Amino acid sequence: GAGVSQSPSNKVTEKGKDVELRCDPISGHTALYWYRQSLGQGLEFLIYFQGNSAPDKSGLPSDRFSAERTGGSVSTLTIQRTQQEDSAVYLCASSPRPGTGVEQYFGPGTRLTVT
């Protein structure tokens, strides 16, 4: 079946512009996660959704970052007034039963470059 998809795969934007990154999880997966992967920094947790609710937003680096999820499915990560330090690969993952040791399924990522 279809896996987690993300779009766009690559995004180049100018400093100060807003960007939207999209994630389509696997159908039926209730949990959705966003991570940021920068060189040498591993996977930095950003936000987690259970259904449409985000019980944990603690990883969002600043108030320029926001995310929403609608219909328990698609999620959008928005970065306002992008800065060069926002350049990274943004990964989305979904899971059918969080908190039970069931693994996450990752998308291919969106590579964001802020010039």
Is 104 a binding residue for other proteins by CB under 8 A? The answer is: yes
Is 50 a binding residue for other proteins by CB under 8 A? The answer is: yes
Helix (H, G, I), strand (E, B) or coil at 22: strand
Helix (H, G, I), strand (E, B) or coil at 85: helix
Is 27 a binding residue for other proteins by CB under 8 A? The answer is: no
Contacts of 30 (CB under 8 A, 6+ apart): 50, 51, 72, 95, 96, 97, 98
Q: Which is nearer to other proteins, 8 or 16 (CB)?
A: 8
Applying CB under 8 A, the residues found at the interface with other proteins are: 31, 33, 35, 40-43, 45, 48, 50, 55-56, 91, 93, 98-101, 103-104, 106-109
